[in-house]
């Protein structure tokens, strides 16, 4: 679970996400007197290099390194870890890829619970 970094004054103004979480995306604190920019105790944390994901698990989904697949031709000779179907693939081709993956017993990382 990654740390949640919130925007300066996001609890103060509606447009910055007071009542909607979508508006609380991180923006760098730039004010001259900003306590968050100065990293004062008791204020929200800033994203720094120390929060980075470890290199061993970066890019993995459930412990497996998925392979991006665009079409049926790319599924030949794949390791049986897992695959990710490209978002721009249409419904007809996506169904073919899902059937082929089930035959080869390869899990699909971005299937989303729908078949």
CA distance 101 to 95: 10
CB 10 within 8 Å of CB 52: no
Q: How confident is the model at residue 41 (pLDDT cuts 50, 70, 90)?
A: very high
CA distance 85 to 9: 39
Q: How confident is the model at residue 42 (pLDDT cuts 50, 70, 90)?
A: very high
Q: Residue 98, SS3?
A: helix
Mean pLDDT of 6-12: 88
What rounded mean pLDDT belongs to the chain?
Answer: 88
Supply the pTM of this predicted model: 0.59
Of 102, 6, 4, 106, nearest to 61 by C-alpha is 106
CB 71 within 8 Å of CB 96: no
Q: Which long-range contacts (CB under 8 A, 24 or more apart) does 74-77 make?
A: 75/100, 75/101, 75/104, 75/106
């Amino acid at each position: 679970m990654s740390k949640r970094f919130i925007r300066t004054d996001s609890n103060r103004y509606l447009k910055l996400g007071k009542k909607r979480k979508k508006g609380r995306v991180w923006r760098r604190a730039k004010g001259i007197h900003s306590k968050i920019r100065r990293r004062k105790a008791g204020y929200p944390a800033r994203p720094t290099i120390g929060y980075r994901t470890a290199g061993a698990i970066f890019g993995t989904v459930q412990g497996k390194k998925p392979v991006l697949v665009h079409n049926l031709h790319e599924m030949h000779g794949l390791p049986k870890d897992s695959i990710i179907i490209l978002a721009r693939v249409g419904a007809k081709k996506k169904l073919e890829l899902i059937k082929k993956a089930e035959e080869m017993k390869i899990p699909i990382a971005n299937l989303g619970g729908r078949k």
